Chains A and B, each alone.
Chain A
Amino acid sequence: NAGVTQTPKFQVLKTGQSMTLQCAQDMNHEYMSWYRQDPGMGLRLIHYSVGAGITDQGEVPNGYNVSRSTTEDFPLRLLSAAPSQTSVYFCASSSDRGMNTEAFFGQGTRLTVV
């Protein structure tokens, strides 16, 4: 059981380049989310999804796109990378199991935009 898998683990981009951060989970969770972690600011929610075909914006959505065509995958796209998007990105998945709700996190992707 792999849990939540993020790829790549590290990435360096030039300003203006585009790329997709991949996130896959094998727990059949309906809920998935993307966070970015910046020093001193904790984790901030970028986008989230409550099921295949359904996405919504979080606290800091600008500059990022998402889609959810399958239950397993929730890719995060940077259309035109900017230095302000240098951060560590975490993907999470969870299932609404009432009292047993827990979010499982991937290992993170460290992105540097130069």
Chain B
Amino acid sequence: AQKVTQAQTEISVVEKEDVTLDCVYETRDTTYYLFWYKQPPSGELVFLIRRNSFDEQNEISGRYSWNFQKSTSSFNFTITASQVVDSAVYFCALGSYSSASKIIFGSGTRLSIRP
């Protein structure tokens, strides 16, 4: 069975601090996808990144970086120098290579950035 665990329900930090959101997944598939989505207060889901299981390179995009470690089944997301606009719920998700429509989501982490 596939499962995504985001153990941090809520995180609150002061602006400009760095913050890491944890994601641990379980799957029996040998090939799979991992995603991060952002859901701002307006409610829409914003795609941030997709990582394929055969590509363990870490990725950096501006203030965002992702650490994929297959050995620990983790795909953590770090925001450097956080800003108030980063306040949102962040979801980690796991996709099956055999079925691109079957994406399983974690329960989300609510991130609050205080000015």
Contact = CB atoms under 8 A, between A and B. Distances in A.
A42 B35 contact: no
A43 B90 CA distance: 11
A48 B98 CA distance: 13
Contacts of A103: 35, 47, 95, 100-101, 103
Contact of A92 (B91, B103, B106): B103
A5 interface: no
Contact of A45 (B35, B44, B100, B104): B104
Interface in A31-61: 31-33, 35, 40-45, 48-50, 58-59
B91 A43 contact: yes
B33 A101 contact: yes
A70 to B, nearest CB: 16
A102 B50 contact: yes
A101 B32 CA distance: 11
Nearest to A96: B100
Contacts of B27: none
- Sorting the interface of chain B by its residue count into under 10, 10 to 19, 20 to 34 or 35 or more gives 20 to 34
Contacts of B100: 31, 50, 94-96, 101, 103
A31 B99 CA distance: 8
B12 interface: no
A45 B107 CA distance: 12
B57 interface: no
Report the 3 A-B pairs with minimum CB-CB distance, sorted nearest first: A31-B101, A42-B107, A105-B45
24 contacts: A32-B101, A33-B101, A35-B105, A40-B9, A40-B107, A40-B108, A42-B4, A42-B91, A43-B105, A44-B105, A90-B45, A92-B101, A94-B101, A100-B50, A101-B95, A102-B47, A103-B35, A103-B47, A103-B95, A103-B100, A105-B44, A105-B45, A108-B43, A108-B44
Given A33-B103, A42-B106, 7 more contacts: A33-B102, A42-B6, A43-B93, A90-B45, A92-B101, A92-B103, A96-B100
